[in-house]
Amino acid sequence: MTAHILITGAAGLIGTAARAHFESSGWYVSTLDLKAEDLDGRGIDFVGDIVEFDGLSDALNGVDGVLHLAAVSRVIDAELDKAECTRVNVFGTSRLLKEASLAGCKWFIFGSSREVYGEPTSFPVKEEEGVAPINHYGHAKVEGERMVRHHCERNGMVHSNLRFSNVYGHPGDHPTRLINAFLRNALKSEPLEIHGGGQVFDFTHLDDTVTAILNAAKKLHEERIPLPPIHILPGTPVSIEDLARHVLEITGSQSNVVYTKGRDYDVERFHGDPSRLRDLLGHECKVDIRTGLEQSAALFRKHLATKGRGVE
């Protein structure tokens, strides 16, 4: 397939892997981010703020579709600066949609999140069960989904809102994300910190995430039919205590597990139904949590060894 995609937030975890995956599948990829390099050290084509960047129309020139990942991407960051989260996640999405329409883009993929559900009352969660976010990040993602759906329906673009869940798999990702923090601390013989305890989540390996994204882009590009919201996740609940146990066993670490006070804006339990992922995008997550952690631990060991030689 020969198609041209713009990836916003291309220097982040999912953006870095998505770029490589699309390019290896024969797509022409343009990238936009605040940072000049992605997690693999590759240069970004258009460097700027999604809200303020003067070159957005140039970035969209000749583009068939957009993968929109640019965002304040951590719940805690959104809580600490709600205005910035709204500026980037809501106003940035609104601006990008308008510019994409003007540029003649045919389709738009929005990177959403399990946070839109808040604290579900039944499991596994299905996409049609409605949204009830409990934190500012979740509210911003709900608004982003709404804007994407309404704008695309009114302006002749097809769209897909993809709801990600605890994506992991690259040592260069933010050090405080749960799996990154656990692996890094275990390998450095430092305590593994659990906020509250008892949490249960779906954890999705990066390879499965970007495969599903590519499948969604192919479907939108070829069929020009909008898709309903879709979970990108394995549908396998893992407790945070089991996650810590896996990490300690895989790394051979003697680190202690310590518990701190929970945060009232953190979701405690979530795992979703992956049926739409299978039925609409033809993908079932292949990397189980144990295998994913083993692969990630190997990458972290190399990453820490490189940093130990003075290379950041």
In the chain, which residue ranges form alpha helices assigned H by DSSP? 13-24, 56-59, 75-80, 82-85, 92-102, 136-155, 178-187, 206-223, 240-251, 275-281, 289-308
Residue 253 has pLDDT above 90, yes or no: yes
pLDDT above 90 covers what percent of the chain?
A: 95
pLDDT for 303 equals 87
Yes or no: say if 219 and 281 are a contact pair by the CB < 8 Å rule. Answer: yes
Residue 310 has pLDDT above 70, yes or no: no
Place of tokens 């879709």: 230
Cβ-based neighbour number of residue 114 at 10 Å? 24
In which band, very low, low, confident or very high, does the pLDDT at 157 lie, cut at 50, 70 and 90?
A: very high
pLDDT for 299 equals 95
pLDDT for 2 equals 81
How far are the Cα atoms of 63, 110, 175, 282, 298 from residue 162, in angstroms, in the given order? Answer: 20, 6, 24, 14, 29
Q: What value does the mean pLDDT take over residues 51-68?
A: 97
- Ordered domains of the chain (ranges, CATH): 4-168+202-235+268-286 (3.40.50.720)
Yes or no: say if 227 and 159 are a contact pair by the CB < 8 Å rule. Answer: yes
pLDDT for 1 equals 61
Residue 37 has pLDDT above 80, yes or no: yes
In which band, very low, low, confident or very high, does the pLDDT at 221 lie, cut at 50, 70 and 90?
A: very high
Handedness of CA 109, 115, 118, 122 (dihedral sign): positive
Query: For the whole prediction, is pTM greater than 0.75?
Result: yes
pLDDT tens column, 103-137: 999 999 999 999 999 999 999 999 998 899 999 99
Q: 3-class SS at 296?
A: helix
